[in-house]
Amino acid sequence: MTPVAASRVVRALALACALPVVLASLGCDENILDPMADRQPRVHPYKESVFFADGLSMRAPPEGTVPRERITGNPVLTTGREGETGQIAANGERVPSYARAIPLPVTRKLLDLGRKRFDITCATCHGPAGDGNSIVATQMSLRPPPSLHKYNDRAPGYIFEVISKGFGLMASYAAELTVEERWAVVAYVRALQVSQSVPADRLPAEERARLEALPMGASTPAPAPAHGAAPEHKENP
């Protein structure tokens, strides 16, 4: 190291050592890198407060306010539960009684909304048909998203609760879907489940005739798109 470089290092070290002394003499005892670390106001539960006149650090909620988690309105509509069964589960909690019917009029409009939200939010993992056949599922080795057709015996309220709170690796979608949209998805999931097990005699006559005309073991052909068939793709020579 040259004498000039050594002199610069010595001066830098001297300045670093002298800076705290200078700041202290000026009354600057704060953390200059992060002043908020010294000035941030905070309280400790059950400790006396010098800020509030009554000395209490734990404050009561303002009058007329309610917690975000409080259940308001119709609990069946907002939670999917009708109450409790009286039975005790293995974890010590009471077994809930889930709504056995969708608490909204199941109209074509509701089903269309459910299909739209399902295709955007749910089909990515559970597949467009709800059978668990999706690209995401093929890439998940820990616990792939299951087929929703295995849960056709579950009450609608149970499906609503899973959408609202999540289950296992599935996160809650309460922030992405409103209460109405969640019930719309439940209705559409029910429609998907019924579509996989409806008896042939319950089909419209034209659909039943189309199925009967198919060769044994053949799959049902998909309907042609409304805009016509896509042009045939050919590779360049």
Q: What pLDDT sits at residue 155?
A: 95
Whether 191 maps to a domain, the answer reads yes
Average pLDDT by stretches of 10, the chain with 237 residues: 64 61 52 67 81 88 80 85 81 86 96 96 94 89 89 94 92 94 96 84 84 70 41 40
Q: What pLDDT sits at residue 232?
A: 42
Number of domains in the chain: 1
Domain that holds residue 125: 108-199
Whether 62 maps to a domain, the answer reads no
Whether 224 maps to a domain, the answer reads no
Q: Are strands 94-98 and 81-88 parallel, antiparallel or unpaired?
A: antiparallel
Whether residue 189 contacts residue 177, with contact meaning beta carbons closer than 8 Å, is answered with no
Question: From the CB of residue 113, how many other CB atoms can be counted at a distance below 10 Å?
Answer: 19
CATH classification of the domain holding 119? 1.10.760.10
3-class state of residue 22 by DSSP = helix
